[in-house]
Structure 1
Amino acid sequence: MGHIYRSAERVLICMSLSGEEQGPNLVALLEYACGVIDTALLQINERVDEVKEKGGWSSEWSPYPWDWFPFAAADAPIMSDPRWASVNALLEQEWFSRGWVVREAGLARQGLVLWGNTEFAWHDLMRVLVWRHRRAARTISIPAEDRFRSHLEAYEAQHKDIICTFYQERAWKPCSLLDYIHFARALQLKDPRDRVFAFLDLAEDSTQQLTIVPKYTDAPWKVYRDFAKSYVSAIGDVDLLHYVKHTEESLSTTYMTWAPDWSIAEHNFLSFMSTSADYPPLRSQAGRISEPKLLNSTTLQVEGVVIDSVAFVSDLLQSDTTTAAVLFELWTSVRRLGAHYPSSYLIEAFFDALSVAGFYGDLEEWLDVRRAYISMFERLSAGLETSGTIEWDPIEVSILEERNVHKLITSTTAGKRFMVTKRGCYGLAPAVSKEGDSCAIIFGCSCPCLLRETGIDDHSVYLGPSFVLGKRTLDLDGNGMGFYSCLGVEESKDWVEWHVKEQIIYLS
C-alpha cells in the first residue's frame, strides 16, 4: 500500500464536525505562525548570503545550516497566543488517535485538511508543529501532543531540507521502522497486530530487507515475537532492545523478555534514546559492538558487561505530580547514600541525572535557572540540617516550576524511577525496576540497561533501557559544574576502572 500513498497527488484528510467552530481560529493561527517562520527563514537566508560572500559556506549546509533557527523570545506574542487552544482541539479529533492514517498523510505529496467549513494545508500544520516541538514545546502547552509525534516524524523524514535548521546536526536522524512502531504506542489501532503491520513500508531504512507477510491468523504476541526474531536475524544489531517496555503483568513470564510488546502504551518519548550520532553505541574496551545471536528461537545471546546493581529506587515519577517538593524529598533520600561523583557536586549530578544530561532551549537561560534551582535546594538542605525545618518561598517555587529546567525534568522522568546503584551512580530506571536488579551495558546499545536473574542457569530477564550518569564534568563558566555524559560513552567509560569482566549475556 505504501507505493499507492507515495504516488497520490493529494490526500484529503477529513475531520469530524466536533469542534469545527475552532477552525477559523486555527487557520488564523497557522497563517500567523507560518508568517513568523517565513520571516525567520528569510533572515537565515540573509545570513547564508553573507557567509557565502565571505567564502565560509559548506556544501553540507543545503539549503539551510543546522540549528540556525532562532528561539522565540519568552514575551513574543506567539508564545501566549490563545489560539493555540484550537490546535489542541484539532489534535483531540479521533482521526489523530488512529495508527493507520500516519502513512496515508505522511507519504502523500500534498495533504488538505477539511474540518467542517474550514480547510488548510497539512504542510502548514506540520511546519507549525515542528517549530513548536523544537522551539517552544516547554512553553506552548498542547495536552494532546503525543498524538502527533508519529505524524511529525513522517513529515520530517520527507522535509529534511527545512527541518535541519531546527536541529543540531547530531540530534536528528530519519525515523526508523522501530521508531514509527514505538511512537504509535500513543495511538489506537483496532487490531493490535497492526501495531507492526501498519508501519512496515513507512520507513526508508535497513528494515526494508525484512520480509514480513502480515498474518492475521497469528495472535498479537506471536506477531511481536516473530517480528523481533526476524529483525535480529536480518538486521543483526541490538537496536531493538531500546524499545522494550515492561509492566508487572508482562514480566509474569520470563519468555522472550527482550522482544518489545508493542501493545504496551507509552506517552513519554522525551527521554527515549536509540542509537544515533547523538547517542552512539556503547562499545567494549576494545571497541567492539555485540552481534546478537538467536538461540533455540527464544534466547538472545549478546555481549556486554554487568557493571553494578541497584541499591535504591524511588517511587514512580509522573509528570503531573512531580513538583519541586517531590524532587527535594527525593534529594534528601539520595544525598544520604554513597556517590560515585565528587562530593562537592552531588546536587549538580542529581539534577543532571534527572534531565538525562541534557538541556532545552537557550543554554545560558538554562544554566541560570539550573543554578537557581540548585541554590534553592542547597538553602533548604542547610536549613534542614541546622534547624530541622524547611522554609519554602512560594513565589520562588512558582517561578522555577514554570521554567524549562523543571518542565524538562518532569518530562524526562515521567513513568520512570530515580535510582542509585551500589557504586553510587545516579540514573533513571524503568518502572518495573527494584533494588537488587543488575545494571549492565550491552555493547551496541546507546545506554545501559537493567537485568534481573531468572534463577535458571545464567539467563537474565531484560527489564529495559536505563540512563546512568557518567562521572565526566564540564566547567560551566560561573554556573558551577555540569555532568554531560551517559556512563559508557567513550569519554565516560568509568566501568573500565572497576575491573568488571566483559561476558556473554543470555536474555530470556
Structure 2
Amino acid sequence: MRDIYAGSTEVIVWLGESGPKDHLGEMILPMLTADEIASLYQWHGDRRDLPKLAAYVSKVVEDRRKTGSAQDSIDIFGAFYVLSALISGVEASGIQELRHLHKSGPILRGFDALMQPRWWSRAWVVQEVVVAQSVTIRYGKLSAPWKIFSQAASQYERARLEANADSTYPYLKEQSLARFSRMILEIETTRNDWNQAEPVGLLSLLRKFRSRSSSDERDKVFALLGLVRFWRINEKKIMPDYHIDAIKVSFETTKSLLASVGSLSVLAGTLRYSECCDSNPSWVIDWNYPPTTNEDTRLFNLPWYCAGGSDGLIELHKQRVLKIEASYLDEVISVGEELVETTITRMRPVIMDWTKLCAQFIDTRPSFEHAHYIGGGSVGDAFWRTICGNLEFVKMGVNTSNFATTTVKKGFRKATADGSLAFEQLRSADYSHRRTTSIIGGFWQESNQPDPEIARRNAFHHAVECACEGRRFFVTKTGYIGVGPRNMSVGDHAFIPHGSQVPFILRNADRLVACQGDQIETLSSATGSQPTYIPAGKHAKAPEQQKVCYEAHSELYFVIGDAYVHGVMNGEAVRLETQAFWKTTSICLI
C-alpha cells in the first residue's frame, strides 16, 4: 500500500458527507461573482480565497449570521476562515471571529465536525498522507489541500503560548484548536521526516500514533510497518502475520525493540492497564492501551537523561522473564494525586498539594526554598525541576542560533534558573487581565500586547503538562522526589536499570521462577554498541545469541512504569556504584 500512495499523483482523503446543520458558505453567494461562485467550495490557501473571505466578514453576511444561525449550527466555512487567518500570520487570539461570544461557537463546532470523522483516528490511514506527493481533503462539497491544515496548525502552535492562560478567553477557544493542531502535526511532522529521508524507526512511530484506533488490534503495529525506513542491524524485522494473535504481536514487538535499542528505555510510557491485565508479562507494551495526551512529547525528551549510563544487560529467560542489571534507588513512601489533562487553573491545586506532600515527608527547615535536598541543591529547586522534568519549553519558531544544536531539541532545552520564577508565577493566579478584559459589542476585549512573563509562565506550564500529565508525584524513604506512572503506589520500589535513560518503578512480585536448562536469549549485552542501521528489507536480521539457565530466580518484579527522580537523572548511580548504596544487582521482570 505504501508504494501505491507514494507513486500516486494525488491522494484524496474523503472525510464524508456534510451534515444538515453545516454551513459551507452558501450565505455569501449573493456577494460573489459568477466565477467566484464556481470556486466557492474549493479552497486553495492563497490569494484566490480572498474574495470569499472578504464576503464572509462583510456587514451583509454578518447580519445574516446573527439572525439565521441556530444555537447548534456548525460553521464549516468559518473554520476555513480561521485556517486562512492563521496561515496569513494572525494569531488565534487576534482573530475577531473567535473572540465574538456568539460567532465563535459555530466556528469551533465546525472544527470539531471536520476532525470528527473516523479517518483521523484510524491507524491505517497515516501512510496515505505521509508518503503521498499531494494530498487533498474533501468534506462534502468542500475540498482543500493538506497544506492549509498543516500550515495553520504550525502557525497556531507557534503562537499559542502567548495568551494569558488565566484569562477566560483561552478556556473558551483552546480545546477545539489544540485538538486540531495536535492531530494535524502528528502526521505533518512524520511527513516531513519521510520527505527528508530521515531514518524513521518503528518505536518512534508506535509512540506517536499510539492513540490511533484499528478494528484489528494487531494493526496498531502492522499499519505502521510501511513507514519504517530503516531497521537497526540487530533488530528482528517485523512482518504482518495475521496467523498470530494480538498478545503475541505485542510480545514480539516489545522483544524486538528491546533488542534493537538495547535499553529498558523502550518500556518508558504507558505499558498497559495493569501489571497483570493479560497473559503477557508486565514488561510487554500493550499498544492498544491509549497514552496520555502529551506522552509522545515526554518520551521524545528522554535523550536529555542518562540515569543508567549507556550500557546494560538484558536477558530473556523462558520467553517470559527479563533479567537485567540495575541499581536500587529507594522505596516509595508517599504518592500524590494524579495530574489529569487540565487547564492551568485546575493544575494549580494539584501542584500545591504536591508541595504539601513534599514538605510533609522531607525536612524543609529552614524553608521549602532553602532546605537541603538529598540529590543536591535545595528542596524548592528540586521540586520545580522535578515537575517540569528539568526541561523548559522554547517557543516554536524562536531564534535559537545562540544555542548549540545539542542544547535545543524539538523546542525543549535544559531548565535554567528562570524556571524558578516561572514556577512562582504558576503558583499564583494572575488576575490582572480582568482589569483590562471586557465584552464590547459581543467581543472579548483583552490586551494582546506581548508579555514576556506570560510567555515564560505558559512555557513552564507546557513543560509541566508534558512531564506530569497522567502521572503522580512521589517521595521515597530517603528523601528523593519524583514523578511516576498513575498506577504506582506506596511500597513500590525505584530502580535505575543500567543502560536506561530513566529510572523505573517496580513492584515486588512475591514469587519464584526456576529455569531448568531453559534457553537464554541475550537482547542486549553489558558492553553495548552504537546503533547501526540497515535499509528495511529482507536483509534485516537479528543475530541469535543463546545459552541456558538452571537458576531459581527470586528477585522478581512487575514493571509499573518509568519515572523522573531528581538528582539521579545524569548517571549519578552509575558513577557512584562502588558505594554500597548504589551497588549493582541483578533482578528479573515478569
Same fold (TM over 0.5): yes
Q: How many residues align?
A: 427
Equivalent residue for 2:569?
Answer: 488
Task: Give 1:443 deviation, angstroms.
Answer: 2.6
Equivalent residue for 1:51?
Answer: none
Contact residue 304 and residue 441 of structure 1 kept, 8 A: yes
Q: Deviations over 1:338-387 (max 9, x none)?
A: 2699517433432332222223356999765433345x4xxxxxxxxxxx
Task: Give 1:251 deviation, angstroms.
Answer: 2.6
Assess, with a 3 A threshold, how the Cα gap between structure 1 residues 339 and 331 changes in structure 2: closer, same or farther. same
Equivalent residue for 1:479?
Answer: none
Please tell me the residue identity of whatever aligns with 1:17: E
Q: Does 1:422 align with 2:477?
A: yes
Aligned-pair Cα RMSD in Å: 3.9
Moved more, 454-463 or 215-224: 215-224
From 297, 322, 328, the equivalent of 1:306 is 328
Equivalent residue for 2:142?
Answer: 118
Task: Give 1:156 deviation, angstroms.
Answer: 1.9
Q: Does 1:439 align with 2:494?
A: yes
- Distance in 2, Cα, partners of 1:349 & 1:216: 49
Contact residue 304 and residue 504 of structure 1 kept, 8 A: yes
Equivalent residue for 1:100?
Answer: 124
Alignment of 1:307-456 (within 5 A): 307-320=329-342, 322-338=346-362, 343=371, 345-361=378-394, 368-374=421-427, 376=428, 395=431, 404=458, 405-406=460-461, 408-410=463-465, 412-455=467-510, 456=512
Q: Deviations over 1:388-437 (max 9, x none)?
A: xxxxx894799999961446535542221111112222211111111111
Equivalent residue for 2:558?
Answer: 461
TM-score by length of 1: 0.72
Equivalent residue for 2:216?
Answer: 191
- Distance in 1, Cα, partners of 2:190 & 2:300: 17
- Distance in 2, Cα, partners of 1:291 & 1:268: 32
Please tell me the residue identity of whatever aligns with 2:371: S
Contact residue 149 and residue 183 of structure 1 kept, 8 A: no
Please tell me the residue identity of whatever aligns with 1:501: K
Q: Deviations over 1:71-110 (max 9, x none)?
A: x7x9655996655664444222322121211111111111
Contact residue 302 and residue 505 of structure 1 kept, 8 A: yes
Assess, with a 3 A threshold, how the Cα gap between structure 1 residues 307 and 366 changes in structure 2: closer, same or farther. closer
Moved more, 393-402 or 188-197: 393-402
Task: Give 1:334 deviation, angstroms.
Answer: 1.9
Assess, with a 3 A threshold, how the Cα gap between structure 1 residues 189 and 149 changes in structure 2: closer, same or farther. farther
Moved more, 203-212 or 99-108: 203-212
Q: Which has the larger radius of gyration?
A: 2
From 234, 243, 246, the equivalent of 1:217 is 243
- Distance in 1, Cα, partners of 2:300 & 2:465: 23
From 200, 207, 210, the equivalent of 2:225 is 200
Please tell me the residue identity of whatever aligns with 1:106: V
Assess, with a 3 A threshold, how the Cα gap between structure 1 residues 31 and 252 changes in structure 2: closer, same or farther. closer
Contact residue 448 and residue 466 of structure 1 kept, 8 A: yes
Q: Does 1:505 align with 2:527?
A: no
Return 5+ residue gaps in structure 1 as ranges: 38-71, 164-172, 377-392, 471-486
Task: Give 1:253 deviation, angstroms.
Answer: 6.2
Equivalent residue for 2:449?
Answer: none
- Distance in 2, Cα, partners of 1:113 & 1:264: 29
Moved more, 154-163 or 212-221: 154-163
Describe the SS at the equivalent of 2:326. strand
Moved more, 182-191 or 430-439: 182-191
Equivalent residue for 2:525?
Answer: none
Task: Give 1:244 deviation, angstroms.
Answer: 4.4
Moved more, 178-187 or 398-407: 398-407
Equivalent residue for 2:10?
Answer: 10
From 251, 257, 261, the equivalent of 2:276 is 251
Describe the SS at the equivalent of 1:36. coil
- Distance in 2, Cα, partners of 1:495 & 1:297: 33
Q: Deviations over 1:255-303 (max 9, x none)?
A: 521110111112322475447784254344xxx4124222221122223
Task: Give 1:451 deviation, angstroms.
Answer: 0.9
Please tell me the residue identity of whatever aligns with 1:360: F
Q: Does 1:240 align with 2:266?
A: yes
Return 5+ residue gaps in structure 2 as ranges: 24-74, 164-169, 373-377, 396-415, 436-452, 513-553
Describe the SS at the equivalent of 2:341. coil
Q: Does 1:32 align with 2:57?
A: no
Contact residue 488 and residue 495 of structure 1 kept, 8 A: no
Please tell me the residue identity of whatever aligns with 1:507: L
Task: Give 1:122 deviation, angstroms.
Answer: 0.8
Please tell me the residue identity of whatever aligns with 2:565: V
Please tell me the residue identity of whatever aligns with 2:505: L
- Distance in 2, Cα, partners of 1:253 & 1:323: 33
Q: Does 1:266 align with 2:291?
A: yes
Q: Deviations over 1:431-485 (max 9, x none)?
A: 1111111111123322211111112211221111111122xxxxxxxxxxxxxxx
Describe the SS at the equivalent of 1:311. strand
Moved more, 76-85 or 87-96: 76-85
Describe the SS at the equivalent of 1:156. helix
Equivalent residue for 1:155?
Answer: 188
Task: Give 1:146 deviation, angstroms.
Answer: 5.8
From 312, 329, 347, the equivalent of 1:290 is 312
Task: Give 1:178 deviation, angstroms.
Answer: 1.9
- Distance in 2, Cα, partners of 1:295 & 1:353: 35
Contact residue 23 and residue 86 of structure 1 kept, 8 A: yes
Report percent identity of matched pairs: 20
Describe the SS at the equivalent of 2:89. helix
